[in-house]
Structures are given as structure tokens and as C-alpha cells.
Amino acid sequence: MESLADYFKVFSEPNRLTVLETLRTGPLNVTAVVEKTGLSQALVSKHLKLLTIAGVVRRRPEGSLVFYEVIDKGVFQLLAQARKLMLASRRQQLDALAAIL
């Protein structure tokens, strides 16, 4: 996690966001995430690793399972704020378009 840009990059991938959303309600093991998302196991594993490296998620082995959980639920606030800004931008775009027509 070098720069701020790198941090944003963590959330700039649809499947990774999907995986992250999966953990909103609580810890899950890899297979559970796979089933919830429909993504391949290898892919889920990769994204979880990235999220772990980024410090967004914590890895907790338990027997033969490995559970992952969001460390700071504040990330979801970040997602929410970004979504809000995005929608506002979209509205503004439409207004600008309407002004032309």
C-alpha cells in the first residue's frame, strides 16, 4: 500500500467489490464467499489476498477453514460516500446534457 492511488485501486475492481460486500454482514470462509459470489475459487482467493495485503480484511485460519473478516467497517462508509458522489456526478452530467438540448 504505497500511495493513496494504490488504496483506491483496491476498490476499483467489480469482482473484488463483490467479494468485499460479501463480508459486510460478518466473517466468512473462502468457500462461503465462492458460493455467495459465484466466482471461481482461485479468483476469490486472489482477491481476498489482495484485500488482506491492503489491510481491509483480516485472515483467520480455523481448523481446515480460513475465515476472512472486514477489519474496519468504515470502508463501507467509504463505498457509500463514493457511490453518492458518483450518482451526483451522473445527475450533473444529465443536467449538462439537458441544458444543451
Partner DNA sequence: TCACGTCATAACGACAACGTGATACTACAT
Partner DNA sequence: ATGTAGTATCACGTTGTCGTTATGACGTGA
Residue appearing with cell numbers 482477491: 47
* CB neighbour list of residue 82: distance below 8 Å, 6 or more residues apart: 11
CB of 63 to a copy of itself, least distance (A): 21
Which has the closest alpha carbon to 79: 58, 95, 55, 56? 56
* The only residue of 59, 73, 83, 91 in contact with DNA, by rule CB under 7 A: 59
* The only residue of 8, 21, 40, 69 in contact with DNA, by rule CB under 7 A: 40
Binding of DNA by 77 (CB under 7 A)? no
> What is the CA 52 to chain-centroid distance, rounded?
11
Contact assessment for residue 34 and residue 27, using Cβ atoms and an 8 Å cutoff:
no
- 37-45, 76-84, 86-94 -> range binding DNA (CB under 7 A): 37-45
Q: Which does 72 bind (CB under 5 to 8 A by kind): DNA, a copy of itself, none?
A: a copy of itself
Contact assessment for residue 51 and residue 10, using Cβ atoms and an 8 Å cutoff:
yes
Residues at the contact surface with a copy of itself, assessed by CB under 8 A? 1, 3-9, 11-14, 16-17, 54-56, 71-72, 74-75, 77-79, 81-83, 85-86, 88-90, 92-93
